[in-house]
Amino acid sequence: MIDKKLVKTKINSIQNNLEQLKRFENLSFEKVVENYDTHKIVERIIELLINEAIDINQHFISESKLNKLSFDFKESFLLMEKLNIYPKSFAQEISLSVGLRNILVHQYNRLDEKVFYTSIKDCLKQYSQYCRYILKFLS
């Protein structure tokens, strides 16, 4: 059974982090990528947003009848479409954010600063929509 209180708490966290991320939305490329403090703050906010959504995804999937015991973080966004929470096109779009999260967390590759900079607006758009889809599904 879906724990609505847990999910809503995580949605509130995502929404709070989106509000914080908005502070950086209109900064220039240089101001974001060349200022160490700004860069690290944006990195952390994006990481937190994505992690909260992954937690929500995992909760929904584990409580569903998909019989999917093992899945990666990217797949968790794709499986949400199978639960009729949001459309496939959105699932494919938002699932790409996991790649950025993995680079930020694990430093797998050198971070492409242009991709990082554009991810600010992408995250604001995608994760705002993600929250709307989840809340609509819960109601």
The pair of three-digit structure tokens given for residue 44, joined into one six-digit string: 């952390």
Is 44 marked active-site?
Answer: no
Residue 35 to residues 1, 38, 40: CA-CA distances in angstroms? 45, 5, 9
Cβ atoms of 61 and 73 closer than 8 Å: no
**Other residues' Cβ atoms within 10 Å of the Cβ of residue 118:** 12
**pLDDT at residue number 101:** 77
Q: Which domains does the chain have, with CATH numbers?
A: 4-138 (1.20.120.580)
Chunked in runs of 10, what are the mean pLDDT values of the chain (139 residues)?
96 98 97 94 95 96 78 90 96 89 68 88 97 97
The span from the CA of 23 to the CA of 4, in Å, is: 29
Q: Which of 23, 39, 44, 101 is catalytic?
A: 101
Q: Which of 44, 59, 106, 110 is catalytic?
A: 106
Residue 59 to residues 3, 24, 52, 77: CA-CA distances in angstroms? 8, 30, 11, 12
**pLDDT at residue number 111:** 77
The pair of three-digit structure tokens given for residue 82, joined into one six-digit string: 């199978």
Using alpha carbons, select from 133, 110, 115 the residue that is nearest to residue 46. 115
Cβ atoms of 86 and 80 closer than 8 Å: yes
**pLDDT at residue number 106:** 62
The distance from CA 19 to its chain's CA centroid, rounded to whole angstroms, is: 14
Q: Vertex 17, ends 112 and 31: CA angle to 5°?
A: 45
**pLDDT at residue number 10:** 98
**pLDDT at residue number 21:** 98
Is 106 marked active-site?
Answer: yes
